[in-house]
Structure 1
Amino acid sequence: MKKSAAILILFALTLTMLACQKEVPETAYEEFMTQLEEMDFSVTAENTDKDILQGERRWLTVNETEHITVYLYESESSMEKDASFIDEGGTGYHNGNNSVEISWVSYPHFYKTDNLIVLYVGENTELIHALEDILGDQFAGYQR
């Protein structure tokens, strides 16, 4: 009897945990990838571990040599909240609990749209112009 009750409780807890998991919408991410490909960029995507920002992190390789990091969030409001912690120059993240200063290998460029933050670290003007065409002006990072 005790074993059956324990199994039922464990099953109920598992169902509750599954119901509480929030799925990150990928529509904006998929549209972003499609738009890059329509601009004749080759794009390879892979999931990767979290780092500084709170969003679900994706690593894109563009034209086999450039890299873009995309952070996906549950909602636009959670994205906006995390974006507000990035300093104007794109070299610091300060959320009240954690403070990180970053030395990039090149110039950082942060963009946002819908539930995405997009980070490109580099100087490829063709890619920067494409990101601006797709996402609008950067909100943080190196200003040319």
Structure 2
Amino acid sequence: MRKLDNHIVIFIAAIFIITVLAGGCSRENNTKSSFSIEQFENAMKDKGYNFEIKDVRQDFLNATRKRMMIDNKAIDIYLFSNDKEMENEASHIDSGGCGYNNGSKAVNVSWVSFPHFYKRGSIIVQYIGDDEKIMSDLKDILSEQFAGYTPK
């Protein structure tokens, strides 16, 4: 009888370990894809920025768009339902950040300054400008830009 009890204990422990490991993996994936506008705002506040968030109309990307105003500088934030949808839209932006083509819609843009596109989770962040602190902080928060002008 004691041998049977040991097998049951080992079986239950194995199920517990598998459950914990599987749960840990799914939480990691959810965290990676759940980076939100609120987290972006908090990260920008942590970097010392004071800003206002405004609703703006949708433009070339098929997403809800918000605008973060830092003094007279604008950062557009595109909100997608999930990271897969965001990645799909990001793939249509050319590497220079001046073109978008999804096969049925094509747009070429002449920006007033240098374009910079960043992505994380289910958001794309677009900054048009040359403020080195903003670009550095966006890189710290969101990772390397995936499209746009890269200073030499």
TM-score by length of 1: 0.80
Give the conservation status (yes or no) of the 8 Å contact 2:34–2:121: no
Give the conservation status (yes or no) of the 8 Å contact 2:68–2:74: yes
**In the TM superposition, what are the counterparts of 1:30-109 in structure 2 within 5 Å?**
30-62=38-70, 64-109=71-116
Unaligned runs of 5+ in 2: 1-32
Runs (4+) of structure 1 exceeding 6 A deviation are none
1:111 maps to a residue whose letter is: Y
Please provide the CA RMSD for this pair.
1.4
Q: Does 1:116 align with 2:137?
A: no
Give percent identity, aligned residues only: 36
Q: CA deviation at 1:43?
A: 1.3
Q: Find the partner of 1:136 among 137, 143, 151.
A: 143
Q: CA deviation at 1:99?
A: 0.7
Q: How big is each residue's C-alpha offset from its partner over 1:27-48, in whole Å with a ceiling of 9 and x where there is no partner?
A: 6110000110111111100111
Paired with 2:43 and 2:51, the residues of 1 have a C-alpha distance of 10
Q: How big is each residue's C-alpha offset from its partner over 1:64-95, in whole Å with a ceiling of 9 and x where there is no partner?
A: 12110000000000000000000000000000
SS in 1 for 2:36: helix
1:101 maps to a residue whose letter is: N
Give the conservation status (yes or no) of the 8 Å contact 1:26–1:72: no
Deviates more, 1:106-115 or 1:25-34: 25-34
TM-score by length of 2: 0.76
Q: CA deviation at 1:143?
A: 0.9
| Greater helix share, structure number | 2
Unaligned runs of 5+ in 1: 1-24
SS in 1 for 2:93: coil
